[in-house]
Structure 1
Amino acid sequence: MTTTLLDLEGLVFLRREAHDRGYTDQQIARLVRSGEWWRVRRGAYVAGDVWGSLGDADRARLRSRAVLKAAHPSTVLTHVSAALEWGAPVWGYSLDEVHTSRPETASGRREAGIVHHRGLLPPDHVTQVNGVRLTTPLRCALELSALGSVEQALVSVNALMHARLVEPGAFSALARELRHWPGTLGVNLVSRLADPRLESAGESRTAYFIWAHHLPRPVPQYEVHDGAGRVLARLDFAWPEHGVFLEFDGMSKYREHRRPGESVEDYLLREKRREELVSQMTGWTGLRLRWADLDRPHELASRIRRVLAQREG
């Protein structure tokens, strides 16, 4: 699921802009040492209290703005840097470098925290949002699929699709069109596995885990109805033929599904009661996964297989 972004417009200023406002290099250095200003990258600054209030993703977005302010006007953000501006999760990708490209650039290179990517960049692959020029969500999804692992890409691509920023058919078509790009061997697999129904990074990773370990493919966002036909619950994953459901327990659920004033403990208790009600209504067995479970994949796969097999018996 994509996130709502902070407005970072106009926060970054360059050394030459500070000079124009009357600051000397010595004064700039003192302001940085005191923490009143923060050096985002060489020759680019932001107020120190602003920098201190931001998380890693927004700090990366500020670095992107610092790069663009000093770059050629045709420069656009790409890959991870573009994904951040679209509010997509970038699980597993490094935020240390700013990714850019230019329509007229024929070769790629790295320099001082910037990755300049080569490749064709037609006008309809470029847009502007949040005050910066960047690749479209569709192009960005393909770039991420070429840059990272299939699992990493699925977290971002599923979020873009769930937010209806990328249409699955259009992504498949672009993947076929650009199949000769360097590093795109995994793009077709991302296209096959992508699922706009998945609502979080945890769900995307779980779905990939299930595929990678050759487990039966479950139904995402499975609705359970009561006797009157009303929706009783919507389950992250379900194997109706086995009578098993699975819920991913991630922090995004705590943020998005807690009621106003509800504590985490109260939310977890409510979730437990909901699962008990689902089991009572359906007779199904429930499983709950946490992030740490995905770090023990063989143990987790054995656990799921065992529960599915017991239900078959």
Structure 2
Amino acid sequence: MVRLSRDTYLPRAVAGVPGVRIAAVLLTAPDQAVVSHTTAAGLWGVAVPLQREDPRVHLTVATGSAVRGRRDRVVHRSPLVDGDTTTRDGVSVTTPQRTWRDLAALLEPTALLAVTDQLLARWCSRPDLQAELDRRPTGRGSARARAVLSLADPRAESPMESVLRWVLHEAGLPAPDLQHVVRDGAGAFVGRADLAWPEQRVLVEFDGDVHRERDVFVDDLRRQNRLVAAGWTVLRFTSADVLGRPDDVVTAIRAALAR
């Protein structure tokens, strides 16, 4: 057995399973507690990048509640009104839009943009998120949410693509077209790129771990050769570039656009 906190234990074999940890924490939480923040994002299948792994369960309780956090849980105090909560996987959880507004108070814009892109792609419309922001237009995270929402795009296909977009936005580069399809003069498909500036014929690809697999790597090279032969400049970056040397990434893209 593994001790999660006072009077909360789990068999070691399942202690790392998120759903099991949530269920165990809720057994000793007050009835009105609602799963929220990053834990709610996980239940909605939304990845939150650039965060340290934290197995604690995030709960929101009513303002004024005497409930305290423990080693296995983080307790947030905030008013919950009709429409803020729903049920997912058998537990009470904040809705996607309420989860987004809560995370806006905690996350940096880079991570929040990735969350916003995913929510727009799967669970919310832009008016849904705008309505949530209108309901809580001030307070911690409001300016960040407003800035990110204007840039969010459901076409983003990975959290790190979203992170890269925010880096470019902060650097003042023009907004790219996402998932741009390139065709030749006869209209035949040549390739598709994560980010593109069609007028300058510049493409940017973010290569995640899957691109290291042999079959994917070979396909990437062949596609890149086709794009270069068609007159496009192709730049490829990894998380080591975006996170480790973002200034160099910006410089390379700015130079390509200038050419």
TM-score normalized by structure 2? 0.90
Q: Once the two structures are superposed, what CA deviation does each residue of 1:1-59 show, in whole Å capped at 9, x if it has no partner?
A: xxxxxxxxxxxxxxxxxxxxxxxxxxxxxxxxxxxx333333223332334xx5xxx44
Where structure 1 has 5 or more consecutive residues not aligned to the other structure, the ranges are 1-36, 255-262
Separation in 2 of the partners of 1:108 and 1:250?
44
Shift of 1:84: 0.8
Q: RMSD in angstroms over aligned alpha carbons?
A: 2.1
Does residue 265 of the first structure (1) align with residue 214 of the second (2)? yes
Separation in 1 of the partners of 2:168 and 2:65?
38
Mapping of residues 188-207 of structure 1, within 5 Å = 188-207=146-165
> Contact (CA 8 Å) 2:173, 2:254: kept in 1 or not?
yes
The one-letter amino acid of 1:100's match is: L
> Contact (CA 8 Å) 1:235, 1:247: kept in 2 or not?
yes
The one-letter amino acid of 1:193's match is: L
- The alignment partner of 1:82 has SS state of helix
Where structure 2 has 5 or more consecutive residues not aligned to the other structure, the ranges are none
TM-score normalized by structure 1? 0.75
Identity of aligned residues (%): 33
Q: Once the two structures are superposed, what CA deviation does each residue of 1:280-311 show, in whole Å capped at 9, x if it has no partner?
A: 23x1110001001112111221111122222x
Relative to structure 1, the CA distance from residue 167 to residue 80 in structure 2 (aligned partners, 3 Å threshold; closer, same or farther) is: same
The one-letter amino acid of 2:114's match is: V
Does residue 119 of the first structure (1) align with residue 78 of the second (2)? yes
Partner in structure 2 of residue 78 of structure 1: 36
Relative to structure 1, the CA distance from residue 87 to residue 115 in structure 2 (aligned partners, 3 Å threshold; closer, same or farther) is: same
Shift of 1:215: 1.3
Count how many residue pairs are aligned between Structure 1 and Structure 2: 256
> Contact (CA 8 Å) 1:141, 1:157: kept in 2 or not?
yes
Separation in 1 of the partners of 2:67 and 2:162?
31
Does residue 233 of the first structure (1) align with residue 191 of the second (2)? yes
Does residue 39 of the first structure (1) align with residue 6 of the second (2)? no
Separation in 1 of the partners of 2:26 and 2:150?
35
Does residue 161 of the first structure (1) align with residue 116 of the second (2)? no
Partner in structure 1 of residue 206 of structure 2: 248
Q: Once the two structures are superposed, what CA deviation does each residue of 1:127-161 show, in whole Å capped at 9, x if it has no partner?
A: 11112110011111111112111111111121121
Mapping of residues 160-179 of structure 1, within 5 Å = 160-163=119-122, 165-179=123-137
Which residue of 152, 170, 184 maps to 1:212? 170
Mapping of residues 59-98 of structure 1, within 5 Å = 59=18, 61-94=19-52, 95-98=54-57
Shift of 1:115: 2.6
The one-letter amino acid of 1:116's match is: V
Separation in 2 of the partners of 1:75 and 1:230?
55
Does residue 50 of the first structure (1) align with residue 50 of the second (2)? no
When structure 1 is superposed on structure 2, of 287-296 and 85-94 the one drifting more is 85-94
Shift of 1:182: 3.4
> Contact (CA 8 Å) 1:40, 1:62: kept in 2 or not?
no
Structure 1 ranges of 4+ moved more than 6 A: none
Mapping of residues 141-160 of structure 1, within 5 Å = 141-160=100-119
Partner in structure 2 of residue 307 of structure 1: 256
Separation in 2 of the partners of 1:191 and 1:108?
34
Q: Once the two structures are superposed, what CA deviation does each residue of 1:243-282 show, in whole Å capped at 9, x if it has no partner?
A: 110100012x45xxxxxxxx8122201111011112223x
